[in-house]
Amino acid sequence: MKRNLPLFFAFFCGLLVIVSEFIPHRPFSLMIDTLQEWFMIISGFAIILGQISLFQSNINKIKQKDSGWMFYLAGLISFILMLIVGMFWGTQETGGLFGHGAALQAKLGMKPFDYLFEFAYMPLSSTMFSLLAFFIASAAYRAFIIRSFESNLLMLTAVIVILGRTSFGSMLTGWLPQGLRFWHLPNLSDFIMEYPNSAAQRAIMISAALGIIGSSLRIILGIERSYLGSDK
């Protein structure tokens, strides 16, 4: 029963979603939205589970003085601080337990939660994202080292695309006559992106879509059960 009930739900809901994808009439047209709403409700309850896990794992690491325990402490303090200011004075238009905190708003220019979000969270998030630029450079360096025919080809293509997207590339081949406009770097770059690149991406997407159909069928029919914890 413990195993059969989830399998039955997976079969029933999976079939329902497939059917409602093709039938616009009620009640089928409303079912996907309803199931998504149910998922959101269950997710909402599961958040508590996440917070408990967050507290437990961080407190354990702080207690055991694991390497970098101060980072876990900083994480916990940040969590509690945001929770308190959010609960006390609310966020944006929503008030908290102590109203909107007019005095604090006058001092900070906005609510304490929004202030921390704007001036602590956002810069930190942007910093992480900006690391991507440096990682792209290091990854590109490794990818373009000439080792084989394929890496030669990759480097050549990358150089054309990079130059084609800059004004320097446009200047380099700007003198070409009308009959040779295809070899103008921006045009060549557009060609590579539009045809070979799109073709490869679509091939991956089509095969992934087939994989999704197969995976979904295995789950709906109960052949694939390891996501439930056991395949028995």
Partner 1 sequence: MKGLLLTTLLFLIVLACYASPGTLNVQDVPWDEGKALNITWQTPADSIILQRADSLGVWQTIFSGPALPAAYSDRDLIPNQSYSYQLIAIGSADTDTLIVRASAKPREQWFYMHKLSFLIILVIVSLAILIYIQRARMGKEFYIRRISGLDSMEEAVGRATEKGKPILFVPGIGDLDDIQTIASLTILSQLAQRSAEYDTELIVPCRFSMVLSAAREVVKEAYLKVGKPDSYKEERIFYLTDDQFGYVAGIDGIMVREQPAANFFLGSFYAESLILAETGFSTGAIQTSGTAQASQLPFFVVSCDYTLIGEELFAASAYLSRDPQQLGSLKGHDFGKLLTIILILAGVITEIVGWHWFKAFFEGVQ
Site string for partner 1, 81-120 (x = CB under 8 A): ----------------------------------------
**CA distances to 53, 96, 125, 228 from 45, in Å:** 14, 21, 26, 19
> If binding is defined by CB under 8 A, does position 211 make contact with partner 1?
yes
Considering only the stretches 104-112, 139-147, 164-172, 181-189, report the one whose residues sit in contact with partner 1 under the rule CB under 8 A: 139-147
Q: Of 1 and 128, which CB lies nearer to partner 1 in the complex structure?
A: 128
Structure-block tokens of residue 230: 């056991």
If binding is defined by CB under 8 A, does position 74 make contact with partner 1?
no
Does 2 contact partner 1 by CB under 8 A?
no
Report the DSSP beta bridge partners of residue 96.
Answer: 99
Q: Residues for the chain: how many in total?
A: 232
List the one residue from 31, 84, 190, 224 that touches partner 1 (CB under 8 A): 224
Contact window for partner 1 (CB under 8 A) among 98-106, 137-145, 161-169, 187-195? 137-145
Q: How far is the CB of 126 from partner 1 (least distance, A)?
A: 8
Q: Is 132 in the site for partner 1 (CB under 8 A)?
A: yes
- Please answer whether residues 72 and 56 qualify as being in contact, where contact means their C-beta atoms are separated by less than 8 angstroms: no
Residue span binding partner 1 (CB under 8 A) among the ranges 89-97, 165-173, 177-185, 207-215: 207-215
Q: Which of 131, 153, 159, 180 binds partner 1 (CB under 8 A)?
A: 131
Hey, CA dihedral for 8, 10, 13, 16, is it positive or negative? negative
Give the dihedral of Cα atoms 163, 169, 173, 178; nearest 10 deg: 90
Residue 212 engages partner 1 in binding (rule: CB under 8 A): yes
123-to-29, 115, 138 alpha-carbon distances in Å: 42, 12, 23
Determine the residue type at 126.
S
3-state secondary structure of 99: strand
Closest approach of Cβ 210 to partner 1, in Å? 4
Q: What are phi and psi of 96, to 5 degrees?
A: -110, -160
**Residue 204 in contact with partner 1, rule: CB under 8 A:** yes
